[in-house]
């Protein structure tokens, strides 16, 4: 299934969040991720350890988090799905807040085939 290397939904969410934060901030730290997602710093630390073990992120000794190539590939894929699906739902008349929430759920479970078909249909 392309990039999807046994990454679960929460790992995908973390990688996507790191990507989004890295667009807004010079550096990303666990505390930034915890704030963004409303999670405890301890939960984020555990998740970062797992992502580091899977080589999806690197963490500097100062605690700055960077996506590796594989991490960025997953984050980019999820982010693209998120943007496209939420825009599409809004165009269909769905309230933007609901569209974003639904896109968050759909982006993790939709197959590559279905997503590509929607993408092709929209464009």
* pLDDT tens-place string over residues 31-59: 999 999 999 999 999 999 999 999 999 99
Q: pLDDT, tens digit, for every residue of 66-102?
A: 999 999 999 999 999 999 999 999 999 999 999 999 9
pTM: 0.85
78 shares its domain with 59: no
β-bridge pairing 65-67 and 57-59: antiparallel
60 shares its domain with 79: no
Query: Nearest to residue 85, comparing CAs of 65, 63, 105?
Result: 105
Integer-rounded Cα radius of gyration of the chain: 15
Place of tokens 């999820």: 78
Q: Which CATH number characterizes residue 20's domain?
A: 1.10.10.10
Query: Cα torsion for 18, 19, 22, 28, to the nearest 10°?
Result: 10
């Amino acid at each position: 299934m392309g990039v999807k290397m046994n990454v679960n939904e929460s790992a995908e969410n973390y990688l996507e969040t790191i990507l989004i934060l890295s667009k807004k901030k010079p550096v990303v730290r666990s505390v930034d991720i915890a704030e963004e997602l409303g999670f405890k710093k301890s939960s984020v630390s555990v998740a970062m350890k797992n992502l580091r073990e899977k080589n999806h992120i690197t963490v500097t000794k100062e605690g700055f988090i960077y996506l590796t190539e594989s991490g960025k590939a997953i984050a980019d894929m999820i982010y693209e799905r998120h943007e496209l699906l939420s825009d599409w739902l809004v165009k269909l008349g769905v309230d933007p807040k609901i569209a974003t929430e639904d896109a968050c759920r759909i982006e993790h479970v939709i197959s590559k085939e279905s997503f590509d078909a929607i993408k092709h249909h929209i464009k």
